[in-house]
Structure 1
Amino acid sequence: MSSPADPGAPADPAGGRRAVTVWLIAVAVYFVAVVFRTSLGVAGLDAADRFAVGASALSAFPILQLLVYAAMQIPVGVMVDRLGSRRVLILGLTLLVTAQLGFAYAPSYGTALTARAVLGCGDAMTFLAVLRLGNRWFPARRAPMMAQLTGLAGMTGNLTSTLLLSRVLNDSGWVTAFAGSALGGLLVLIPLVLFLRDQPRGQAPEPAPATGRGAIRRQIGAAWREPGTRLGMWTHFTTQCPAMVFLLLWGLPFLVEEHGYGRVTAGELLTLVVLTSLLLGLPFGWLLSRWRNARLPVVLSVTALVTVTWTATIWWPGEGAPAWLLVLLCVVLGGCVPASTVGFDYARLANPAQRHGTASGIVNIGGFTASSLALLSVGLLLDATGDDYRIALSVVLLFIAVGVTQLLRLHGRAMRREQERHPAPARRGAPAVRAREKVGAG
């Protein structure tokens, strides 16, 4: 069955055990990607010693990794739409394992930097492919929940790197920590190759994207012209940036050097960000699966709480913020990742099935571009101000302000367009809502 908004869309999948198995295999790849991506967050001080670099050079590791990730989002989105999730995930995992091994044995700063760039490329091929599989194997009304569950798997990977990898690094050293994690990623490749499929058996494939000269450019342009796609991108830009800056690199040095915590205690505080994200993911998914109108209030509420606690923490008078405020900051930052997945729901409802990968790629560019630029800005300001974390970390507030401005500018236009494509009945929660989402969302 199809709708005028999405001609030729395949039938809504039923889900079931087979769908769960396929999704778990794909999520395992994303889990590995996040472990590798965030591994530098607990190894930043070790990397500075190992390669004899300062704050600016150290920040180049995650910045290059995230810039490559962001630059790959649209190409990967097009690849997912045209090649399917299975092929893209196999290629992505191969690059991830190769890069992690290269980083483990890198003899110089330049070699290590190259390895992180390759890692960013492989990392870019995971999340969008998993989102597409979730849309392809589960009913459309479950899409917000599946996006949140995928995000939870990523945060579990973050938790693993924070708790497990940091201890291996401390007890067994650099090579064991990074080469050992690469071996774990290699094991995931076996079920990926043997058992993962792009769609349920017997179900018609998604409509193929247009081909011919200029088809890819037209596909990207069509996704970008949808205000819901751009709203999703700015949602991701605004909400993901603060948590990424804190978790990927600067949270640990801030807690150790500015507040005098030991590395174990600082690592436990970073773990609190991840645990809060895990706790909030399911409630967010449940809420947003039932009430579309809750999306903007959720995003703005998380953003407001982050802004207030971030400002209070870094500008607390005296020697440093009290312990309770640092705990509160970590709890509040835990809402960033669940809130950022709202952006993918905006893009999903704004685009037909054959553009979902491309549109999701555009959304994903937002948060990772903001995170890359913020990480770089913090490093440069630390070097310029003699490690003044108050001034350096204040730059994150500028990114939040830019993002909120764009959210408010685009929201009305995007919601009018969404209502045209997926009209909701007068009574919220009526069965017709689900029926229409099944038809229109692909």
Structure 2
Amino acid sequence: MSIDARRDASAGRRRSDDRTNVAARDAADPPGGARAWLVWGVAAAVYFLAMFHRNGMSAAALQAQERFDVGPALLSALPMVQLAVYVVLQVPSGVLADRLGPRRSLLIGLGVMAVGVILFAVAPEIRSAVAGRVLIGAGDALVFLNVIRIGALWFPRHQYALVSALTGLTGGIGQIVSVAPLSALLRGVGWEASFLGAGAVSVLIGLLVLLAVRDHPGGHAESAHAAPVSVLESVREALSTRGPQVGMAAHAVIMVPFGVLGILWGYPLLEQGYGLSPGLTGLLLTGAAVVPMGLVPFLARLTGSRPGLRKPLGLTLSWTISLAWLAVVVWPGGLPPLEVTGAVVVASAFGAVLAPSVSFDYARDGMPAHRTGVASGLVNMSGFTSITVGVVGAGVLLDLQGADASFQLAFVPMTAVSLLAAATLTLLLRGYPKRD
């Protein structure tokens, strides 16, 4: 047998052994407990801040348009470049998460984000602003995967859906803070002071990570630092496993519409599309995100203890959100009444905060706990690729329409992607085996 053949056979046996032993690994799950929640809480604070940085462009969109003297299409380049960097770095970030561990990865991410937001704060023109958003996207790419990885390394398997949901909930709160309060800060203390303050907070949270976060609980170091496999093999393993495939499809629809609104187009939709004031717009977007939050931990705990509920929950969220936005974009005579669009936005927010408990819980099916980073990265890449299509597509279509721009037409690309992902999820879940 040739060397390459022996290597391939060895890799195949390793993948087979990993999948065969998943149940055995789960039986030796970490115990969780107060220390686990402390470590997760500090890491979740990093994600909270990352969401503030990521979604700040929504509240700052109109001010940025004036500050840098750009139109809608060029304005969309700011979050587009940030998201593109974030998406491209998901797999490398997953590999880094598996090899460096959460603590060092989070510290690197915080440092890069801090530099990026400071550059964005003082940027005199659009090119410098884009460079700042690139750095924010690069640092942000390292955050969520490592918070999720802490959930895999510190908590038992049946709590993973709950930890993932609470992580998403933390991000949702961060998104709220990046809307109304940031809008008020921008009006009150100005552009530079608002974003420089956010950079300083990044440094302070980095100190908390140094003090509190550890990669794994005592007695579980071996699984956390198992022998690494190649990047190509890690990607191939995740893509060939049904769980991550389902997670990718779910994330590409459930989190996307509210992601598009939160990252850039929520404020313009309500201010320009419906003529609302900035204060009322911020209040409505904040309320839309707050309303579903109370139910998220309950549903996540339920799906964690009863995995069979994941399928109906995922399909219900996917088709409800997709068809609701289809109704918005085909509503006769222009945008539907504000009450209708508001209900659709609330449904989208519910999906966004619950998405991690569905998508990333599926992504762990069939995967060993110590190699969840790449699978989670692929799931995240799927969702944010769809968001990028929605953000950029809306900006291009608004720019092409000129003064009489229609937000109905602008949201067509986002709606089309959501419908396609919902159909793909439906096909993948046919005959999907139940998790014990």
Both structures adopt the same fold (TM-score exceeding 0.5): yes
Distance 2:157 2:285 in 1: 34
Aligned partner letter, 2:133: R
Structure 1 residue aligned with 2:313 = 298
Structure 2 residue aligned with 1:360 = 376
Change (3 A) 1:250 1:225: same
Distance 1:251 1:287 in 2: 31
3-state SS of paired residue (2:223): coil
Aligned partner letter, 1:89: L
- When structure 1 is superposed on structure 2, of 306-315 and 341-350 the one drifting more is 306-315
33, 38, 50: which one pairs with 1:16? Answer: 33
Distance 1:209 1:219 in 2: 13
Distance 2:319 2:110 in 1: 36
The reply on whether 1:167 has 2:184 as its aligned counterpart is yes
- When structure 1 is superposed on structure 2, of 136-145 and 402-411 the one drifting more is 402-411
How far has the Cα of 1:66 moved from its partner? 1.0
Aligned partner letter, 1:4: T
Preserved CA contact (<8 Å) 1:151 1:281:
no
Unmatched runs of 5 consecutive residues or more in structure 2: 1-17
Aligned partner letter, 1:201: G
The reply on whether 1:235 has 2:279 as its aligned counterpart is no
The reply on whether 1:257 has 2:272 as its aligned counterpart is yes
How far has the Cα of 1:347 moved from its partner? 1.1
String of CA shifts for 1:342-391, please: whole Å, max 9, x gaps: 11111112211232111111111111000001111111111122322121
How far has the Cα of 1:321 moved from its partner? 2.9
Aligned partner letter, 1:363: V
Structure 2 residue aligned with 1:124 = 141
Preserved CA contact (<8 Å) 1:298 1:339:
no
Distance 1:114 1:230 in 2: 33
Structure 2 residue aligned with 1:94 = 111
Preserved CA contact (<8 Å) 1:72 1:121:
yes
Structure 1 residue aligned with 2:12 = none
How far has the Cα of 1:279 moved from its partner? 2.4
- When structure 1 is superposed on structure 2, of 252-261 and 293-302 the one drifting more is 293-302
Distance 1:39 1:66 in 2: 13
Structure 2 residue aligned with 1:370 = 386
Distance 1:47 1:106 in 2: 11
Preserved CA contact (<8 Å) 1:374 1:396:
yes
How far has the Cα of 1:307 moved from its partner? 2.9
399, 402, 424: which one pairs with 2:420? Answer: 402
Preserved CA contact (<8 Å) 2:97 2:145:
yes
Distance 2:342 2:181 in 1: 21
Unmatched runs of 5 consecutive residues or more in structure 1: 425-442
> After the TM superposition, which residues 14-413 of structure 1 pair with which residues of structure 2 at under 5 Å, given as runs?
14-206=31-223, 208-211=225-228, 215-318=230-333, 320-341=335-356, 342-386=358-402, 387-412=405-430
Change (3 A) 1:203 1:278: same
The TM-score with structure 1 as length reference comes to: 0.89
Distance 2:365 2:181 in 1: 38
3-state SS of paired residue (1:350): coil
String of CA shifts for 1:207-239, please: whole Å, max 9, x gaps: 645457xx2211221111112111111110111
Preserved CA contact (<8 Å) 2:32 2:154:
yes
Give the aligned length: 415
3-state SS of paired residue (1:261): coil
The TM-score with structure 2 as length reference comes to: 0.90
How far has the Cα of 1:296 moved from its partner? 2.3
Preserved CA contact (<8 Å) 2:389 2:414:
no
Distance 1:191 1:259 in 2: 42
For the aligned residue pairs, the C-alpha RMSD in angstroms reads 1.9
Change (3 A) 1:39 1:195: same
- When structure 1 is superposed on structure 2, of 94-103 and 287-296 the one drifting more is 287-296
Preserved CA contact (<8 Å) 1:242 1:371:
yes
Preserved CA contact (<8 Å) 2:180 2:279:
no
Preserved CA contact (<8 Å) 2:253 2:322:
no
Distance 1:307 1:371 in 2: 14
Aligned partner letter, 1:103: F
Preserved CA contact (<8 Å) 2:159 2:301:
no
Identical aligned pairs, as a percentage?
A: 33
- When structure 1 is superposed on structure 2, of 161-170 and 356-365 the one drifting more is 161-170
Aligned partner letter, 1:402: L
Preserved CA contact (<8 Å) 1:277 1:337:
no
How far has the Cα of 1:26 moved from its partner? 0.6
